[in-house]
């Protein structure tokens, strides 16, 4: 049986990474889009990503922006791929639940803008949690 080694707390070093000038640019855009404070997004990133991943966030964000998927209105609004693959702050299951709820609201005749706003609120809750 393998004995697992438990690790020291890397939060402080991770915080230094996510406050670099290039990270600030990404955080500003994410904070504006999702209507969240930068510190809440930073905290979620620090919790979910390892150090090398955190360093690579600005490049991964650019990859997402350059992809075709942001042209899809739901991806552009909710950033499903952005938040699960490019910058994995949420699990695919969590995001699928949000997507399913938004789709069911749209199919029930609720205006798209309202359904997207409900989806965004759910995402905000998950990030703040």
Cβ neighbors of 85 (< 8 A, separation 6 or more) are none
Closest CA to 63 of 28, 26, 92: 26
Work out whether 107 is an interface residue with other proteins (CB under 8 A).
no
**Judged by CB, which is closer to other proteins: 19, or 104?**
19
Stretch that binds other proteins, among 16-24, 72-80, 89-97, 103-111 (CB under 8 A): 16-24
Q: Which two tokens stand for residue 41?
A: 């997004």
Q: Quote the least distance from Cβ 50 to other proteins, whole Å.
A: 4
Non-local CB neighbours of 34 within 8 Å, separated by 6+ positions? 41, 79, 120, 123, 124, 127
Q: Is 21 in the site for other proteins (CB under 8 A)?
A: yes
Q: Please report, as ranges, the residues that interact with other proteins according to CB under 8 A.
A: 2-7, 9-11, 13, 16-17, 20-22, 25, 47-53, 55-56, 58-60, 62-63, 85-86
């Amino acid at each position: 049986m393998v004995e697992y080694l438990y690790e020291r707390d890397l939060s402080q070093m991770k915080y230094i990474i996510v406050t670099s000038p290039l990270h600030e640019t990404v955080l500003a855009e994410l904070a504006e889009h999702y209507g969240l404070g930068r510190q809440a997004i930073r905290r979620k990133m620090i919790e979910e990503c390892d150090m090398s991943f955190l360093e690579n966030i600005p490049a991964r964000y650019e990859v997402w922006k350059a992809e075709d998927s942001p042209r899809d209105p739901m991806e552009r609004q909710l950033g499903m791929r952005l938040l699960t693959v490019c910058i994995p702050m949420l699990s695919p299951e969590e995001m699928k639940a949000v997507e399913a709820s938004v789709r069911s609201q749209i199919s029930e005749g609720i205006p798209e803008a309202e359904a997207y706003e409900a989806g965004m609120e759910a995402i905000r809750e998950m990030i703040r949690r």
